[in-house]
Structure 1
Amino acid sequence: MTRILVVTPNWIGDCVAAQPLLMRLAERRPDVVIDALAPAWVAPVMEAMPQVRRVIANPFGHGRFDPVGRWKLARTLAGQYDEAYVLPNSWKSALIPFFAGIPLRVGFSGEARIGVVNRRHRLDEKATPLQVERYAQLAEPVGTPLARPLPDPRLTRSPAQIAATLAQLGLADSPRPVVFCPGAEYGPAKRWPERHYAELARELAARGHPVWLLGSKKDQPVAAEIARLAPDAVRDLCGVTNLAQALDLIAHARLAVTNDSGLMHVAAALDTPLVALFGSSSPNYTPPLSGRAQVMWLQLECSPCFKRECPLGHFNCLTQMTPASVLARVQSQLEAQS
């Protein structure tokens, strides 16, 4: 039996993109046991992966160094693992496997990681343009091209989990909703305008489709504005659900409409029909990996800029994506289900 510890990224979408690496490790070594060292805010995503035996809480997220704390956590893991895969590129993210004495520590070169990572891959952006490919590259011997095709991420939710979440939140199980995920933690240049979401919600409500808004507490101002503009058309659940419950509701939905966000990748991995709206970012790097996803991207001359705020001040890459055009994509998805 090979025991592997995976140090996960800190972002929901990146964790979803990491699953094909775990699939490949499990496929090639049927006796493998994989645990994930993950921040609490992404743990439910890792727990929804069949390849993961357990998730160990990583309290050192987003810039926190704390070498003594990392050493203490590492000592609780000593002797438990044969290999570690360190997915973040920072030096400090590799310290826990190093302090734990895990013999093989795999990751990309970067930030003076010689020694703390002892099987180092060099990132070839042209050979692996997608984030999901870059993580999966770590399963190959150093210098070996990535074996393609890759499997798509696939998260699992059981009917019992979905039913329990609906009951806890007092939500009807029928008719199944259209879910909007209007947030994007990266910044407003990735968010379709609230007025557009509100208009789309009104059109869907007029056709008999319930619309639920999902997101974190950080997304509450965006959701509140949509609810103000379409008060009788939406059920605002932003900040009401935890991430595990959000997974259940997205799995239950007939369709999701999302910005390029972590929940977009969750919806794709749950195989929920999806309309994904791209603005300042590019589906050529982080697309939703699902045959049931439709991407909308205007590909204006100024995009992708990958900025948090529009550097030109107009957000045309999103404002010019009309509610009518998105409604047409949504209707085609719903009709395909019928």
Structure 2
Amino acid sequence: MKPVHHLLLMPPNWIGDVIMAQPAMFAVASHYRALNPALQITVCGRPWLKDLLPWLNLAGARYAEQLPKADTAFLFPNSLRSAWQCRKAGIRSIIGYSGQWRSLLLSRALPQRISQKHQHHRDFFLDIATQSGMAIEQRYVHLSTPADAVEEGINMIRAHGLNPEKSFMLAPGAQFGAAKCYPEAGFAEACRHLASHGFQPVVLGMKEDHATGERILAGLDVATWNAAGATTLSQAIALIGASRFMLCNDSGLMHIAAGLDIPTVAPFGATDPERTAPSGKHVKIIYQPAPCSPCLQRECTVTGHPCMSNITPRMLSDACLALLKP
């Protein structure tokens, strides 16, 4: 394979998918850097990628909002638009999966051998590198921590009156939809049990999660901080890196925490852990499926949201405490 001097990586469009694609992007970047140590790597996509990129373990990669005229592009989204953008930018070699009528725009259209409906999304992305003849030395997510990032997280926690040795992150939202979300009353009860052990919750999420966070934290007799909507993505990741553990729904922040080897507990119901469970050494997925699980729907249409109501708050809090044991 001819060495290139400018490699473009186009990650998927959701934070969780970007994290699940990290091993594949790492394999591609490592392969081309071995061919040309002077390789330039550009990652192009949604604006929040600029915050996420320093954690993706892609040494030397730079973010660009606009597509550069690179030599080779690897496309992890399956959209026609991504292939058309690369062709318009004059990129000579464009590699990605066939589909969405874009095969003629690709220099190499790869068959989709891994089913996203039945196999893990991480393997789906990795097969792009495998079919391109690249060695896969890292099959699981391994994020890197920028210098001073954890110290930044510790300082933010202290600035809000919490003890970093006792703080944990709670992410009660999920962008895909409410069907993935554990009931806020259940999270509140789990937090009360964790607070009885001295642990102090920090709520992370979007501004629309702030009200949920307020209700979850109400009445706790430990220091708390509702940071939902009050941080950048970079700051939220720094807080995760500085925390004792993460309790969250199936979400992008879940994948980030697990990829940083932060103990992570997540209830699953509407989504399938066989397809989207995070990779990490300290992960506990709580899955008590209902007959309708996994429905993969944005909103639950079954009375009582049984896939989540089957999971008790004590299951979550006990799993968090168990992960902290030596």
Please report the TM-score for the alignment, with normalisation by the length of structure 1. 0.86
Which of 177-186 and 111-120 deviates more?
111-120
Aligned to 2:97: 108
Residue 46 of structure 2 corresponds to residue 56 of structure 1: no
**Residues 1:240 and 2:248 are matched in the alignment:** no
Residues 202 and 159 of structure 1: CA distance in aligned 2, closer, same or farther (over 3 Å): farther
Q: Deviations over 1:281-313 (max 9, x none)?
A: 011001111121011100222100001111213
Structure 1 Cα separation of the partners of residues 135 and 164 of structure 2: 43
Give me the whole-angstrom Cα distance separating, in 1, the residues matched to 2:204 and 2:190: 15
Structure-2 separation of matches of 1:321 and 1:176: 25
Give distance in 2, aligned partners of 1:335 and 1:141: 41
Q: Is the 8 A contact 1:82 1:104 kept in 2?
A: yes
Aligned to 1:130: 120
**1:208 pairs with 2:198:** yes
The residue number in structure 1 matching 2:155 is: 167
2:42 match: secondary structure: strand
The structural deviation recorded for 1:165 is 4.1
Q: In the TM superposition, what whole-angstrom CA distance separates every residue of 1:88-109 from its partner, at most 9, and x where no partner exists?
A: 1111122221112111101111
Alignment match, 2:72? 83
Asked whether the 8 Å contact 2:217–2:224 carries over to 1, the reply is yes
Q: Amino acid of the residue matched to residue 82 of structure 1?
A: D
Cα distance in 1, alignment partners of residues 246 and 272 from structure 2: 19
- Alignment-mate amino acid for residue 155 of structure 2: A
> How far 1:247 sits from its partner (Å)?
0.6
Partner of 1:40: 47
Deviation at 1:152, TM superposition (A): 1.6
Q: Mean alpha-carbon deviation: is it higher for 314-323 or for 122-131?
A: 122-131
Q: Secondary structure at the match of 2:273?
A: coil
Match of 1:23 in 2: 26
Please give the TM-score of this superposition, normalised by the length of structure 2: 0.89
Question: Which deviates the most, 318-327 or 167-176?
Answer: 167-176
Alpha-carbon contact 2:43-2:62 (below 8 Å) kept:
yes
Q: Name 2:141's counterpart in structure 1.
A: 153
More deviation, 46-55/253-262? 46-55
**Match for 2:24: what amino acid?**
L
SS of equivalent to 2:324: helix
SS at match of 2:279: coil
Question: Partner residue of 1:68?
Answer: none
Aligned length: 315
C-alpha change, 1:168 and 1:235, in structure 2 (3 Å) is closer
Give the fraction of aligned pairs with identical amino acids, expressed as a percent.
Answer: 29
Match of 1:261? Answer: 251
Counterpart contact for 1:175–1:210, Cα < 8 Å: no
Tell me: CA distance 1:330–1:141, structure 2 relative to 1, closer, same or farther (3 Å). Answer: closer
Q: 1:93 aligns with which of 58, 82, 89?
A: 82
The CA distance in 1 between the partners of 2:300 and 2:131, in whole Å, is 41
Q: In 2 relative to 1, CA 231–42 (structure 1 residues): closer, same or farther, beyond 3 Å?
A: farther
> Could you tell me whether the CA contact under 8 Å between 1:10 and 1:42 is conserved in 2?
no
2-structure distance, mates of 1:231, 1:199: 13
Structure 1 residue aligned with 2:284, among 254, 278, 294?
Answer: 294
Q: Secondary structure at the match of 1:211?
A: strand
Query: What value does the CA root-mean-square deviation take over the aligned residues?
Result: 2.3
Q: Write the letter of the residue equivalent to 2:47.
A: A
Q: What is the distance in 2 between the residues matched to 1:163 and 1:35?
A: 28
- Residue 126 of structure 1 and its aligned partner are, at CA, apart by 4.5
1:279, 1:317 within 8 Å by CA — same for their partners in 2?
A: yes
2:104 is paired with a residue whose SS is coil
Task: State the one-letter code of the partner of 1:112.
Answer: W
Name the CA distance, whole Å, in 2 between partners of 1:293 and 1:43: 26
Q: Is the 8 A contact 2:250 2:266 kept in 1?
A: yes
Unaligned stretches of 5+ residues in structure 2 = none
CA drift of 1:150 comes to 4.4
Matched with 1:9 is 12
Matched residue, 1:69? none
Cα deviation 1:67-97 (Å, max 9, x = unaligned):
xxxxxx45xx23xx22101111111122221
d(CA) in 1 for partners of 2:309, 2:219 = 16
The code of the aligned residue for 1:213 comes to V
